[in-house]
Amino acid sequence: MAMTSGGGGGGAMGEINVTPMIDILLVLLIIFMVIVPVTPKGLDALVPQPPKEKQKQLNNDRTIVVQIMYRPGASPAYKINDTDVSYQELLPKLTQIYANRAERVMFVRGDDDINFSYVADVIDIAHEANVDHIGIMTPKIQQGQ
């Protein structure tokens, strides 16, 4: 019993088998989805929490707050806690304060009208003074105290 076809010869077919290409495409898609980070990495911020109990405010020398105050038509004024400091004195003063401290935490408070570049400059100066954690004080946190 011989099988013969009524049509033409059994030559090479001109169709492409796309199944292996789709498999490769799906594997590459999964690889790229795993490689791309899911969550963006931003600036680590430490925000002070309001006290749970209302108690009288004690003068705590451990907490360092650098204030940036807006002055219309002039460069901003700076304070470390309640002491006036010029921009040039910020780095030496902060270096002196944090020279012997184990806890290197600092907070930055800027006026509402201040440009954020001044806040960023203070954060850079604090990093140069070897401050580990820098928190930014917001108006909501300030009202709670």
With 0-12 CB in 10 A as exposed, 13-18 as middle and 19+ as buried, what is 102?
exposed
pTM greater than 0.85 (yes/no): no
The C-alpha torsion from 117 through 123 and 124 to 125, rounded to 10°, is: 110
How far is Cα of residue 23 from the mean position of the Cα atoms in its chain? Answer: 39
Q: pLDDT tier at 101 (50, 70, 90 boundaries)?
A: confident
CA distances from 86 to 67, 90, 124 (A): 11, 7, 16
Binned at pLDDT 50, 70 and 90, residue 28 comes out as: very high
User: What's the whole-number mean pLDDT along residues 127-139?
Assistant: 85
Task: Please report the domains of the chain, with CATH numbers, ordered by start residue.
Answer: 64-144 (3.30.420.270)
